Amino acid sequence: MNDDPLIFLFLLLAALVIWFLFFRETAAQKQAREEEEERRERERQRLEEERRKAREAAKKEFDSLVTPGVPAGVQRTHRELLAENPLPKGQQWYGEDVSPLTYYGYRVGKTRGLRETERHEIIRYVMRARLGDPLAVSYQRSWGRPLSSQRRSAICSHLSKLAAQRASRRNYETAVAHWQADRAWTRCREDAEISKFDSYNFD
């Protein structure tokens, strides 16, 4: 029985030795751990700063592309649309018969259709324009942000819809051909810009 205290002390000492050897963090280990944590934090801050600067540079470039002013040709066709289709008195928005393309004067067909270069200029402008009143609210929402894949898809879908609606009608062959050709042209426009800005969700 007299050996019991000795055995207890021996076991306690052994436990302390095991703890010391296997669980106690040495000063050197602690310093190494803290230095590694500090290094990781500096790296995190560096990457965060790089992302912030990249976003600021992208926003500056984005703003320069979507607000450069309306090209002279688009101004002319836009004025013609407003002169021929003024908003009725007391009405704040056009209906869905006036799409963003129509609003800026896009026209196809034999009689009053624009030249291909003029149509492409309008499409390129609408791709980059910030849409707002007096366009129908549904267009402002569903056509997405400037220089986005949603905006390009909306333009292509709109042109496809127009072509499909009139494909079987007489005397619409030229108009349908124009819509189809312009849709094909639009599908690969602004690839670099869309890839660059789409993830930022700039308005």
- Measured between alpha carbons, how far is 138 from 97 in angstroms, rounded to an integer? 11
| CA 178 and chain centroid, separation | 28
Distances (CA, A) of 1 to 4, 5, 6, 8, 12: 6, 8, 10, 12, 18
Residue 24 pLDDT > 70, yes or no? no
How far apart (Å, rounded) are the C-alpha atoms in residues 89 and 197?
Answer: 39
pLDDT at 178 over 90: yes
In this prediction, residues 19-25 reach a mean pLDDT of: 63
Note the pLDDT of residue 83: 94
Residue 182 near residue 152, CB atoms below 8 Å: no
User: Distance between CA atoms of 104 and 100, rounded to whole angstroms?
Assistant: 7
For the cut 80, the answer to whether the pLDDT of residue 131 exceeds it is: yes
Q: What is the pLDDT of residue 182?
A: 97
Residue at token pair 């207890």: 8
CA dist., res. 179 & res. 114, Å (int): 12
CA–CA distance, 112 with 118 (Å, rounded to integer): 12
Pairwise CA distance, residues 147 & 63, whole Å: 11
Residue 59 has pLDDT above 70, yes or no: yes
Quote the radius of gyration of the chain (alpha carbons, Å): 33
What is the pLDDT, as a whole number, of residue 81? 94
The whole-chain average pLDDT of the chain stands at 89
19 band by pLDDT with thresholds 50, 70 and 90: low
Q: What per-residue confidence (pLDDT) applies to 23?
A: 60
**pTM for this predicted structure:** 0.78
Check whether 43 has a pLDDT greater than 60.
Answer: yes
What percentage of the chain exceeds 70 in pLDDT? 93
